[in-house]
Amino acid sequence: MNSNRNMTEIFDALPADLDEGKDQAGAMEELLRNLAHQPVPTGRLVRLWALGSLQAKIAAGYLAYWLKSGFAGEEEKELRRKQAHVDAAMKLLGGMGYLRGAIMKIGQALAQYPKIVPEQYVDVLSSLQFEAPPMHFSLLRESIRNELGTDPEGLFDDFEPEAFAAASLGQVHRARLKSGEPVAIKVQYPNIARTIASDFSNMKAMLAPLRGTRDWQNLIDQTEDVQKTLETETDYTREVEFMELARTALASKDDIVIPLCYPKLSSRRVLTMQYLEGVHLTEFLERDPSQQDRDLRATQISLLTFRLLYQARMSYADPNPGNFILMEDGRLGLIDFGCCRIFSEDEQELMELGLEALQHGGDAQVRTIQKASLLTDEEMKNEKRIKAFHEILDWFWEPLRYDGEFEFDDDYLRRGIEFMSTLIRRRYTRAMPISVWNNRLFYGYRALMYRLRPRINVKRLHDSELQRAGLERFVAE
């Protein structure tokens, strides 16, 4: 009897199908409004069932498209195909908005990389980067009281109960301090840490058939490293530490802003920081900015990426457009430091070996491949495997080796996706766990440059940051 009631509650909680008569904007608005009143599901069964249901709905939608298009003309087929993509993306938005946590991060990643998924997916899922479905404040009010000891109205002036931004782990509210300074208050969704544990338990169960393969232990190591890093994101005191490291590294850059934090108004699950006024990258591009403005923003993003990597020894592994605030006075704000990794000594050695490979290629690149991919001497004799790694490394190095205005065009992005797809398809996935985060950083940075289409000399920016960090030995003469 209890089992039947639990299953009924699961079905009732799942996002309802959208009204096909509404336009996309209206349907999305209704979806986000409905999700605001749904608590985040935490149990393994609920989350696994929701994913299975979502997969079945998307498959059924594409099957309907295939059946309806059998006798249609080419133009009608194309229209129906695009609509099928939109419908599938809306279902993904609803499912990921309901589940939040690690599942929503996958949706954010899909929207971040053009050319990997249909453009309709990018258009719909991009909302997950900075305007994901917020939870109704009544579901979060108790969290603030539990974390900071009193209601938000007693701590802040002009506290806005309606969130102005929401993402995978929490949502953000505007307020003012008693002294008048505007602040942004990030409040974590209740029990979100439990969802991460549930999702990774489900993932490990699904990976169990690979237990007998040679790379099983490395797969588990990478999975556990990802889980550990995501769980660290639920501790906002660690995020404050990353922000302070970044602020120190970027202290000389007046045009790059890391928000100030207020420790007495923060905890593990609530983070109060300086509010930065500006627009996100998507809105900036919608304004059709001049080439000069594009170049400025690309230069700022490049410099902060390289400065954090080499001076702070930090992999900023979440360079999605929603984390950048483009301020009207020309400054650039970076507002989210949840997904960061500080290099261990072994990981720092790998990075410096990679810089040697960047400069000299040859044997240094071979050694980089072996260290990063944990290959034995015997496995290094597999020419097909080594060739695939050389291709993707050379692709990574292209903008950093070219002494001129590098073009982050369709061809460049397409080749990078093809090289990574080859590694995955051939199961060349064994790697040091830090590679997961570095790949997010390297691909994410290139995806940002692709959207900005700057005319800048990335090599000279990169070389200047190497010299600043005392790594001038890796700068080619």
More confident residue, 220 or 112: 220
Tens-digit pLDDT profile for residues 373-418: 999 999 999 999 999 999 999 999 999 999 999 999 999 988 998 8
117 has a pLDDT exceeding 70: no
Please list, in sequence order, all residues whose beta carbon lies within 8 angstroms of the beta carbon of residue 423, skipping any fewer than 6 positions away.
Answer: 388, 389, 392, 429
Angstrom distances, CA of residue 172 to CA of 161, 188, 241, 456: 10, 9, 19, 34
- pLDDT attached to residue 123: 53
Q: Is residue 236 within 8 Å of 267, Cβ to Cβ?
A: yes
Around Cβ 289, how many Cβ atoms within 10 Å? 15
- pLDDT attached to residue 317: 87
Average pLDDT taken over every residue of the chain:
79
Closest CA to 100 of 141, 59, 50: 50
Tens-digit pLDDT profile for residues 352-367: 999 999 999 999 999 9
238 has a pLDDT exceeding 70: yes
pLDDT > 70 fraction of the chain, expressed in percent and rounded: 66
- pLDDT attached to residue 182: 96
Distance between CA atoms of 317 and 2, rounded to whole angstroms? 43
Q: What backbone phi and psi angles, to 5 degrees, belong to 249?
A: -65, -30
Tell me the mean pLDDT in the region 256-267: 95
Q: Is residue 273 within 8 Å of 257, Cβ to Cβ?
A: no
Tens-digit pLDDT profile for residues 60-85: 454 454 445 555 566 665 666 556 55
Per-residue confidence band for 88, with pLDDT thresholds at 50, 70 and 90: low
- pLDDT attached to residue 357: 95
153 has a pLDDT exceeding 50: yes
Distance between CA atoms of 78 and 61, rounded to whole angstroms? 15
Least confident piece of the model among 118-122, 213-217, 436-440: 118-122
What's the whole-model pTM score?
0.74
- pLDDT attached to residue 7: 40
Q: Residue 456: which region, alpha, beta or left (left: phi > 0; alpha: psi -120 to 50)?
A: beta
Residue linked to tokens 């974390």: 147
- DSSP-derived secondary structure letter, 426: T
